[in-house]
Amino acid sequence: MISKENYKVNSNGYYGKFGGAYVPEMLLPNILELQENYLEITSRPSFKKEFDYLLKDYVGRPTPLYLAQRMSEKYQAQIFLKREDLCHTGAHKVNNTIGQILLAKVLNKKKIIAETGAGQHGVATATVCALMGMECIIYMGAVDMVRQRPNVERMKILGAEIRAAESGSKTLKDATNEAMRHWINHPTDTHYIIGSVVGPHPYPDLVARFQSVISEEIKYQLIAQIGKDYPDMVIACVGGGSNAAGAFYHYLDRPEVQLIAAEAAGLGIDNKKSAATTFLGSEGILHGSKTLLMQTADGQVTEPYSISAGLDYPGIGPIHAHLFDSGRAHFCAVTDEEAMHAGIGLSRLEGIIPAIETAHAISALDKIEVKDKIVVINVSGRGDKDLDTYISWGKY
Amino acid sequence: MNRIDEVFSKKKKGILNIYFTAGYPKINDTLRIARTLEVAGVDIIEIGIPYSDPIADGPTIQDSSQKALDAGMSLKLLMRQLQDLRKHVKIPVILMGYINPVIQYGFTKFCHDCKEVGIDGVILPDLPMQEYAEMCQGTFEEYGIYNIFLMTPQTSEKRVFQINNASKGFIYMVSSASITGAKQEVSQAQIDYFERIQKMNLSVQRLIGFGISNKETFDNACQYASGAIIGSAFINQLNKDDSDEAITSFVGSIINP
């Protein structure tokens, strides 16, 4: 029997050999403040009450667990879709930003910063800042600002200030660097809302806990629909890995549930243009935690590629590095082309246009044996933001 | 005796440490610049190992790192460039870099090669004290390489003492809450911080860095510590003119009365 403690963070901030807090001394007081307080604050009844209330009445939770009839027929399986795409702002990201802004308020922070790649986390952060009346600065790679223009404008409408990351490759990893630099320069009054299960401890655990509402709901929704609280497998896409962490969370210690993580292979794992970290990465330190990352032999972080901006990240969260390393989760690599076809497939079979990130998870159905299985796929986001990408791909 | 200790035992005030990025402005400039700095009168040299994601650095050092990387700089090449370091340079030389390239190089090989070429200390800002102790302290000590820790205005008193106890050579006192190259006047809050640390009577000497850019800021910092570190301002000088004469006159403008 696999023990639960093997897959959750330990008291030093590690998942197996991955995790930790590799931050400069300038950031350490902020990180220590979070490490010392996050469990106590987030377990306060008053905190939980407000978090639950906002998830219900503001985000629109619980999100449905929908039995996808036509897709189930196609794959001769029982396929459930966890509809995170129906969350306010269009993706699961808001579960975390609600939690973190409540935490920031308790810690008496006045300003919020965040990084964003595709803009979904930026929008979710700008949204909760508007909700709470807090100042909001979003760092976004200059290249991403061009390819995700509508989300830039959404953030501006919500009152956030957008700052272009002009360093390095001008994408998500550079936006993360700039946000960390901003935090070094403003250590006392600012909270940094990291959007995925990455970064120094306690962020990976903090974000996983806020996202764990996904699998918490899946459990009771399955009881209502099939009379037991677990499926045979849970499938989710992994960039940094926040939606997967949330969908896996309450099944980590349930070995009867297979965990499937779909990574973005870009143009293919034999091609340099890829973001499939478990296939192409190696151990190292990225953004404050020990994890798997794509790098040169000299330890320089390399630029990933995926058609999906949300999966276009050179690392994965330490929890996923551990799930991979221990064999607890099965990782598959999905190319741009496979993901796009899967996105169209879901649109035609179920009338749901998924985010291209999510389309990678859908494509996993073609890569693993699902016949006669009960499968839950986490539909992490909706495809509205990706219309331009669907249009320029064009094969529909 | 480690060369860093020698400097601090001979000179109690006004120690000048200058930072530059390895392989910048041209890939083969590393040794030339080190030599020129020594002749010009610098006390300690700090050589940056270029890294793709230097989160504690401002635009000036980021830019120099990226250009050095684009030109083909690597830690491996740096060690080769430093092969003859001790034929030319007698003063202490410290490597400053981020942890990931060092991990990929291997701690044992890194410390071994540092010792062989004559590196005296290392500054790895994203390797906190606890992680250092667990990951590589034994190896550093075996090869006699000093690991230099940072402290900041936000570092708690308890932690300052811990850093003092764990430190060898000197403590890198970050002057304010900032990344490198931030330009600022010396504020009252900074002076309060400098004085607060001064009164703690730490056993290890301190050099003040970040925001030190000219004679005025250098002299000011020297009132509160054994000396100071100049980084971005020197890179800016190299951007303007990297000739030996220009380097010499830059150093002169700081140390000459």
Tokens of A3: 């023990």
What's the gap in Å between the CA of B84 and the closest CA on chain A? 22
Whether domain A22-54+93-207 has CATH 3.40.50.1100 = yes
Q: How does the average pLDDT of chain A come out, rounded?
A: 96
Segment A4-10 mean pLDDT: 80
Q: Per-residue pLDDT for B182 more than 90?
A: no
Whether this model's pTM surpasses 0.90:
yes
Q: Looking at the complex, report in whole angstroms how far the Cα of residue B161 sits from the nearest Cα belonging to chain A.
A: 14
The CATH architecture that domain B14-255 belongs to is Alpha-Beta Barrel (3.20)
Percentage of chain B beyond pLDDT 90 is 93
At residue A234, does pLDDT exceed 50? yes
Average pLDDT over every residue of A313-338? 97
Which pLDDT score is estimated for A96?
A: 98
- Point out the residue among B52, B56, B179 whose CB comes nearest to the CB of A300: B52
Query: What residue has token string 């808001």?
Result: A94
pLDDT value at A288 more than 50: yes
pLDDT reading at A168 higher than 90: no
Inter-chain touch A284–B104, beta carbons under 8 Å: yes
Report pLDDT for A272: 85
Instruction: List active site positions of A.
Output: 93, 115, 380
What does the pLDDT average to over A209-219?
A: 98
Confidence tier at A5 by pLDDT (50, 70, 90): low
Q: Name every chain B residue with its beta carbon within 8 A of the beta carbon of A113.
A: none
Residue A3 above 70 pLDDT? no
CA A42 to chain centre: 20
Assign 3-class secondary structure to chain A: CCCHHHCCCCCCCEECCEECCCCCCCCHHHHHHHHHHHHHHHCCHHHHHHHHHHHHHHHCCCCCEEECHHHHHHHCCEEEEEEHHHCHHHECHHHHHHHHHHHHHHCCCCEEEEEECCCHHHHHHHHHHHHHCCEEEEEEEHHHHHHCHHHHHHHHHCCCEEEEECCCCCCHHHHHHHHHHHHHHCCCCEEECCCCCCCCCCHHHHHHHHHCHHHHHHHHHHHHHHCCCCCCEEEEEECCCHHHHHHHHHHCCCCCCEEEEEEEEECCCCCCCCCCHHHHCEEEEECCEEEEECECCCCCECCCCCCCHHHCCCECCHHHHHHHHHCCEEEEEEEHHHHHHHHHHHHHHHCCCECHHHHHHHHHHHCCCCCCCEEEEEECEEHHHHHHHHHHHCCC
Residue A65 scores a pLDDT above 90: yes
Q: Which residues of B touch A139 (CB under 8 A)?
A: none
Domain residue spans of chain A: 22-54+93-207, 60-91+212-393
The pLDDT assigned to A361 comes to 98
Q: Whole-number mean pLDDT of chain B?
A: 96
Token pair belonging to B93: 């030389």
In this predicted model, what pLDDT tens digit does every residue of B35-90 receive, in sequence order?
999 999 999 999 999 999 999 999 999 999 999 999 999 999 999 999 999 999 99
> What pLDDT was estimated at residue A306?
92
Structurally, at CATH architecture level, domain A60-91+212-393 sits in 3-Layer(aba) Sandwich (3.40)
The pLDDT confidence band at residue B19, using thresholds 50, 70 and 90, is very high
Compare all CA atoms of chain B with the CA of A292 and give the residue at the minimum distance. Answer: B100
Question: In percent, how much of chain A has pLDDT > 70?
Answer: 99
Nearest chain B residue (CA) to A301:
B52
B chain contacts of residue A297, beta-carbon cutoff 8 Å: 104
CB contact under 8 A, A285 and B99: yes
